Chain A
């Protein structure tokens, strides 16, 4: 029984239409200056760049949800752990940090992993809970015994400027891959546990691991300096200031009739945009190829009828683990890209509402199971999320115009930016109700 027109048929023109609407929105943002749009290409491109990163995150989530039906509510954690990569890989090494406690730190981390592995071996061999507990407790104290002095030493090293372990000074683009690897490792650990249980408890497990990863970033100052943030992460593209000093660029800007400061900003953002587009399209291509391969067909078969697939001898849990790791790796890559774009790792900024649930809105609105849907939905929702911050107060201002000045009006105007939360909730609920398969439904 069709309760909405959409369920019956889907048009092949949906994706191009959404793309066209997006293009119009961005052109308006870049050219028209009024109450609704900024009329600045710098702003438009900044929104687009972040939108592209969101699109990659949405792609990762869509791989897990769309291909395998896994409900990941810890996106923020995988994004954050990916964001650690530029710091650890591409920052120049911190003077004295390694000598202060580097080897001991590495040793303690290895011991920590060893303890976990030992516990696992003990459990599989003897199946005794108390023995595992004993190994874990003894291991924990050993770990802390090695770990704590190392951390104290590293954090004492020039705490005003550093106090962290620093990076390896490698090119920033390699850190994007490493970010993916970090997230994949985290996903392997959590997926191994949560998907291996008798029933599936992935949602609550990812919710937990998301919180924990963010807590680690916030509190382990030797790693990411916690609330003090890590700044001046190297860039893969030119710096505005260098461009402005370059006479050739000034001439080039003049040729376009733009002030050199604005032109340099646009140039930098365009360079980022091209990089992001390359990554996005590459992941997209791989994802689509994977979906059409025998592997992808098997994934869909498992998703649609797990029991039948299991009866045919498919290792359902193993496949789920694979796709969970792959999707998380994509999210991790996006995390590293985001930190690169911002030039800064701010552990306190990782808010689950913004980085987990907003991504879910993107995927559902775009169309679960459809990669193009996820990407277009992500850019669209990101655009609306940013603009709602501007449009909300404008709307409230318009509505409260006739009201007499007073505390109520002041309060309404003041809290108007919060309207965007209500708007996003409403968008999700409306899409779920009237077009539940999203803007670009799965074929």
Chain B
């Protein structure tokens, strides 16, 4: 019984939150890795574009709520997603047209794209602030729980309860669906293969009759979709604060690099690896240990927490360094040598 209780605590406070967070990071890392693979630079504007897309979702959600539209028990934000993705894609395509295309024509060194993305980051940050301000916003209006603590206890008779928030379940399901769709697209369709070909060898793709500009446009549209979905899921699960979206850039980059930059499968694995390590290292294990090893007394006030939650960024960083030290190309072979 105690073992089961310990397992429930573990699932409730470590596994489920980490799985949801991991799915969000994986979607973000997929976007970063796609842009890295095809446009050949790390997009510093990624986090802020995620914030912008989510801000649009929130505004549309508020609009729908005011009209009385609802798809309870699912959050209204899901209804707002398609239009928000379309709007963000338009903005991102506009950015490409106004900023990046010039350098692509010039065959400029990738580092110039990175610099330009810093400029775009400032603009996106400002736009998001103009649109919705810097304060925290909540926009989750669906059912709170799929399973709540009380029901679970009554059902199982265990002392510990398990709560599965609907946003967590939604995150994992939606992220999984998006990943499957993306992999199907990249590996099975003509356009997806053209994207991979362009990423592998730009000149040969051109000579094979693949239109580079079309590949780039497709990439931005897909990246916009990934960004808005990742941002919205993150916002539904935690809450929306523009600055958090800037900070999430580090774990997202770490996930993409750990998995092997330019490798979509690696990005997903990296996202979950970073998320699980972050949660595991910053979780106070005292309750789980109390059930599993009741003879062990950690002493008063010892939470058995390896690092304070504030240091979760340190975890992504350490994972990154360790992986790069021992496996310089990432866990799955990426583009780097």
Distance (whole angstroms) from the CB of A284 to the closest CB of chain B: 24
Within 8 A of B (CB), among A419-436: 419-426, 428-429, 432-433, 436
Residues of A within 8 A of B247 (CB): 211
Q: Would A357 and B324 be within 8 Å (CB), given that A198-B337, A215-B310, A429-B99 are in contact?
A: no
Residues of A within 8 A of B194 (CB): none
**Chain B: CB-nearest residue to A358:** B122
Interface string of B305-318 (1 = CB under 8 A from A): 01010110110110
Known contacts A204-B250, A421-B122, A432-B115; 10 further A-B pairs (Cβ under 8 A): A140-B306, A194-B321, A197-B324, A197-B328, A199-B337, A212-B314, A215-B314, A357-B122, A419-B126, A425-B121
Q: Is the CB of A425 within 8 A of B120?
A: yes
Distance (whole angstroms) from the CB of A35 to the closest CB of chain B: 22
Residues of A within 8 A of B314 (CB): 208, 211-212, 215
Q: How far is the CA of A219 from the CA of B314 in the complex (A)?
A: 13
Residues of B within 8 A of A199 (CB): 328, 336-337
**Chain B: CB-nearest residue to A352:** B246
Q: How far is the CA of A346 from the CA of B123 in the complex (A)?
A: 27
Q: Is the CB of B126 within 8 A of A201?
A: no
Select the residue from B119, B120, B253 with max chain A CB neighbours within 10 A. Answer: B119
Task: Say yes or no: is A418 at the interface (Cβ < 8 Å to chain B).
Answer: yes
Task: Say yes or no: is B43 at the interface (Cβ < 8 Å to chain A).
Answer: no
Q: How far is the CA of A8 from the CA of B250 in the complex (A)?
A: 39
Q: Is the CB of A353 within 8 A of B321?
A: no
**Chain A: CB-nearest residue to B313:** A211
Residues of B within 8 A of A415 (CB): 129-130, 133
Q: Is the CB of A71 within 8 A of B126?
A: no
Residues of B within 8 A of A36 (CB): none
Within 8 A of B (CB), among A169-228: 193-194, 197-199, 201, 203-205, 207-209, 211-212, 215, 218-219
Task: Say yes or no: is A255 at the interface (Cβ < 8 Å to chain B).
Answer: no
Q: Is the CB of B328 within 8 A of A426?
A: no
Within 8 A of B (CB), among A333-370: 352-353, 357, 360-361, 364
Could you tell me the dominant secondary structure of chain A's interface residues? helix
Q: Would A208 and B133 be within 8 Å (CB), given that A420-B126, A422-B126 are in contact?
A: no
Task: Say yes or no: is B257 at the interface (Cβ < 8 Å to chain A).
Answer: yes
Task: Say yes or no: is A257 at the interface (Cβ < 8 Å to chain B).
Answer: no
Task: Say yes or no: is B106 at the interface (Cβ < 8 Å to chain A).
Answer: yes
Q: Is the CB of B310 within 8 A of A219?
A: yes
Interface string of A361-388 (1 = CB under 8 A from B): 1001000000000000000000000000
Task: Say yes or no: is B83 at the interface (Cβ < 8 Å to chain A).
Answer: no
Q: Is the CB of B122 within 8 A of A203?
A: no
Distance (whole angstroms) from the CB of B314 to the closest CB of chain A: 5
Q: How far is the CA of A31 from the CA of B258 in the complex (A)?
A: 56
Q: How far is the CA of A330 from the CA of B253 in the complex (A)?
A: 28
Task: Identify the A interface with B (CB < 8 A).
Answer: 3, 71, 73, 129, 140, 193-194, 197-199, 201, 203-205, 207-209, 211-212, 215, 218-219, 352-353, 357, 360-361, 364, 415, 418-426, 428-429, 432-433, 436
Residues of A within 8 A of B249 (CB): 207
Distance (whole angstroms) from the CB of A304 to the closest CB of chain B: 13
Q: Would A421 and B125 be within 8 Å (CB), given that A211-B313, A212-B314, A219-B310 are in contact?
A: yes
Q: How far is the CA of A73 from the CA of B118 in the complex (A)?
A: 11
Task: Say yes or no: is B66 at the interface (Cβ < 8 Å to chain A).
Answer: no
Q: How far is the CA of A207 from the CA of B257 in the complex (A)?
A: 13
Q: Is the CB of A219 within 8 A of B123?
A: no
**Chain A: CB-nearest residue to B256:** A204
Interface string of B122-165 (1 = CB under 8 A from A): 11111101100110000000000000000000000000000000
Q: Is the CB of B316 within 8 A of A421?
A: no
Task: Say yes or no: is B326 at the interface (Cβ < 8 Å to chain A).
Answer: yes
